[in-house]
Structure 1
Amino acid sequence: MTDLKHCPHQWTQKDSFIPVWVSSMPPTTVCPQQNHAVTPNPVFPNHATLPTCTPLEVKKTAPGTVLVTVSIPTESIFTLPTKALEIKMIRKNLRITQCRFFNHLPPVCGIPNDTPKLFLGGFVRKDIQYSEPIRQTATTVEGTIKDFVIDLPFTCVVDLGGTHSISPTLFNQQQEYEFSSTTSLPLGFSPKDKLISGDLNEFNVISQQYFNTSPNCELIYSQINEMDDPLDRVRLPGGPFEEGFFRTVQEKMIILIQLRLTFPTEFNPPHPLPSSRA
């Protein structure tokens, strides 16, 4: 027989009261969550040959500071979620997601030399307000205001040309060295002769590492000049003869960007290794 006095406390609280009208209600339908694939960076394709943009100006403004002005033309086609009578207003904001500098190699006589490049990427956030027609007569149109936000990506590689304001990339170096060794020769050589050479049993090396720093990129100014044209505009049935609606929009933009690249102070190694001979 179990002694209830020495047993741990048992919770005996009954369920809370549920009204009849609650229990008689049909269960709520819950839609399963859809697993949407998330792209880490939807701006850049997996594989692409990026267009090269020639900057309008590459100007040195201070030691280690370069001002880059570039114009990027873009084009895109997007679809509004509902039919639109007309676009009321578009607010635009530029977002830079990539500003990565690639330096050129030091010039070598007889070998073609490239120029420094700047990989640019980002998108224009557009907040579009438009009117959606809901009813019309022969002389009037009634509508509601809709809001639609879309991100329009762009990519470009800026050719910085032969500017002399960029510090060169310093490369790691490793060179071996050895000491002279003198040993006696085996039988068959004159006792006065000695073997003079490097010691094959030793391994001596000197290494140098340079830790290059990427330039700091700042967005100074942007300008967006755009044209939006409907591609599928049709006449509004039963409405005024001049009215129509559309959903597909073709957009052309010219994005003017001004960036400031700040490079670290150029490092002059105190004892650079001499170039190795072939």
Structure 2
Amino acid sequence: MTNVYKCHCPHQWCQTSTFVPNWVLTMPAPSPPPNIQPVTPNPVFPNTATLPTCTPLQLIQTSPTTALVTVSIPAEAVFTLPTKALEIKMIRKNLKLTQCRFFNYSPPIICKPQDTPKLFLGGFVRKDIQYSEATRQTATTIEGVIKDFVIDVPWACVVDLGNTLIIPPTFFNQQHEYEFFSSTSLPSGFSTKDKLMSGDLSELNVVSTEFFNPLPTCTLVYSQINAMDDALDRVAMSNTLIGEGQFSRVQEKMVILIQLQLNIPAAIDTGTICCQR
């Protein structure tokens, strides 16, 4: 208690140091865990936040729950070949559809604007490019090898389905609150004949309803890719045949024609079924 008497102010309270056992003092300091990666404070956002809207070329209602959608999507890309190319020999193209997501319209509200259903499409065009690379040249000849280069060119589009299709409705979840009547005595200042009558504020009663709508799906039926590839950095070759040149950067313009079947299964409305019995 020696340290307590060193406090000269009557309102000040002093405490001795906390007792630490010897076995705690002899323990080694904990080492930091290995391979700790720094935490990024903010996520990386994509460069593009908006998507072009494509008007479908054709919409055919094949059944109450299916539709045939044909859409034309323009796309452009610039890519670089791994080596200098003398000439492009062949390009094989294949369509990859990675996203086909249906957005139904919201329920109509009086005096509120009504949107149309949308279809988000996205994917890649796989390009297998075969080109010649010059390895040796003379004044009258060029010798080379055939190289192969595969690249995925991304594309994306939002299709406005308009108001022509008959689309099964989407059922929305609901929450309904209810309360019970409560009657309690009033504090002093009120007549003893009076009561405080209201809902019970100390409770929360909720009825939650969920509808499990079937997920819309897509089936790819047909695709066509019309592409034009142009060299951007072609440089003429010297001391060789007239008109020959090399390039590596290529600009490609494509028109992608897609036809797919949109399947929108109708949700089961249990309330309607019960009323029909």
Q: Name the TM-score, length of structure 2 as normaliser.
A: 0.72
Which amino acid is 2:76 matched to?
E
* Residue pair 1:88, 1:130 contacting (<8 A) in 2 also: yes
Q: 1:198 to 1:264 in 2, by over 3 A?
A: farther
Distance in 2 between the 1:250 and 1:182 partners?
78
Aligned-pair CA distance for 1:184: 11
Specify the alignment match of 1:53 in structure 2.
54
Specify the alignment match of 2:216 in structure 1.
215
Q: Name the TM-score, length of structure 1 as normaliser.
A: 0.72
* Residue pair 2:216, 2:264 contacting (<8 A) in 1 also: yes
2:261 corresponds to 1:260: yes
Specify the alignment match of 1:175 in structure 2.
176
Q: 1:203 to 1:242 in 2, by over 3 A?
A: closer
Specify the alignment match of 1:112 in structure 2.
113
Q: Give me the identity figure in percent.
A: 64
2:122 corresponds to 1:124: no
Q: 1:108 to 1:164 in 2, by over 3 A?
A: farther
- Which deviates the most, 131-140 or 222-231? 131-140
Which amino acid is 1:109 matched to?
I
Aligned-pair CA distance for 1:139: 2.2
- Which deviates the most, 208-217 or 88-97? 208-217
2:163 corresponds to 1:133: no
Specify the alignment match of 1:241 in structure 2.
242
Aligned residues: 225
Specify the alignment match of 1:72 in structure 2.
73
- The 3-state SS of whatever aligns with 1:107 is coil
- The 3-state SS of whatever aligns with 2:106 is coil
Distance in 2 between the 1:182 and 1:242 partners?
99
- Deviation digits for residues 141-172 of structure 1 (CA, Å, limit 9, x no counterpart): 11110111111101111111113422222111
* Residue pair 1:178, 1:198 contacting (<8 A) in 2 also: no
* Unmatched 5+ stretches in structure 1: 1-43, 273-278
* Aligned pairs for 1:127-206 within 5 A: 127-177=128-178, 200=200, 205-206=206-207
* Residue pair 2:170, 2:267 contacting (<8 A) in 1 also: no
Which amino acid is 2:175 matched to?
Q
- Deviation digits for residues 198-221 of structure 1 (CA, Å, limit 9, x no counterpart): 764876543321012220111111
Aligned-pair CA distance for 1:47: 4.4
Distance in 1 between the 2:134 and 2:199 partners?
91
Distance in 1 between the 2:86 and 2:116 partners?
49
